[in-house]
A and B are shown apart, each in its own frame.
Chain A
């Protein structure tokens, strides 16, 4: 989008005074919005369905803005079965939600959202747009599916270093009326999508409407450092759904630091910062990472201070280069990164910033010259005039 727009048409200009006044008036209307920290504790409850169940849940809505008001609203497919004890709260208050379930509901996830929505106030600030936050708490009711039905509630894997075991956590829900006997495995794929390992996690019984969490580690001693995808698959006799899968990525770290980026140009004739962005491929924090920088073909060099870099983290190291003795417009710089007794090197091209013309000084000199010229011309003309007068006399 260009900053200078096209000239407007006469038609667009028409309307003149009234439109201008209207628009200015529009923007002078004042609005303000409550700026506050707000939230709810806890954000959700989960229940298993029972016909005609009556349940009470308490949500503690809070705000650190004294006098901030919130409308409490109900949304979701269970809203018609739900009541709240207060439709509006002031500051921090507890809202009691009463849920009276019917005799039957659709199998699966049903819920009611209990929404705390900011009430906007007019406090005389400038105009524009404002934000209104709505905090969504919820009561979730799981209605059992007929027969057997499994879901994966969550699957996580954690980064590790090359040769170490990778931790995982897998939560399996039995959402059906009947118990299931689930057998589980984790397939690991490399960055190219090629399967590289399969881990059987065994078989176990999960009663209907209950869950189990599997937590253990994967032996990755056969895997190279790199990025991987783990896919958990749950099977059970009588499964009528698609295969139940969930995936997560993990990395196996290698004690290597990459020089990701460096300053492409620096100022001339002075001391200037030179940035080096480094990236860790190691899962653990590394202390004392620093770089030595050499301007190739010269004896100009400088170090950077040491930095601590978190696992798989990035950080910028900054050193200072003296360019007063560099005469080349562009040159090469060798960056040597030191970490844990190892080094990484990279040679990069750097150029000096283009010389900037001082237009103010040039303009000033021209102005002075013009003034001087004008003064000389004026003086000459004056002298000639005096000379002519002298001759007449």
Chain B
């Protein structure tokens, strides 16, 4: 009994101090831990657990999320913006609200401020200078490089591949180069369903229907019994698997491999400059 009494008292005391602590962290528009090296170190642990999957170890970005060491960020300017984005996610993007991915434990307000402190500690102040010409890149994108046959930027272009309007702001330069040079290495993510663990990927598919017609394209979505395909003419086919003569999926991307003799380094830099300028909007 006495132990119970003591623990109740302790709980009450802890509750009061915790509430005060939370209030101190949540009510502030400014990062209460700004510049605190110890908080930055704690934030590094939190970042590895909660952010690094998409943003990479060291916050330098990955194939799924932007490089956060860039001083200029698309969705956030102040620490308070960043707190909001981490807490609530960014609708229409893969950035989830804190604690909603169903795995891991989410973060407290204090831990979010620690992460922001860590990100600020990793920032490179001078913005990366574009190496190529955005204007020339645009000409290539819609012309000789044939990107726009399958990809769209700002509403203009093809539908078979991922829309690249935002890619320049949400992917690292290295990830974009890799996607061009080795498109099959990491297939792009497509449709994300809210209850599902993994997004659909841009897998290639070849089916032969019951009447012998061959369809080649990419999977828009798929389950064990049906598949939704966009073919190379951008027609959507809704297919029941058990009615197909054959169904072949491939992780060989429908995008051709643009190695250096197909697309030279200079041309690639110009296209990256174009995508980066489009993505900054």
Whether chain B is bound by chain A comes out as no
Residue ranges of B at the interface with A (Cβ–Cβ < 8 Å): none
Residue ranges of A at the interface with B (Cβ–Cβ < 8 Å): none
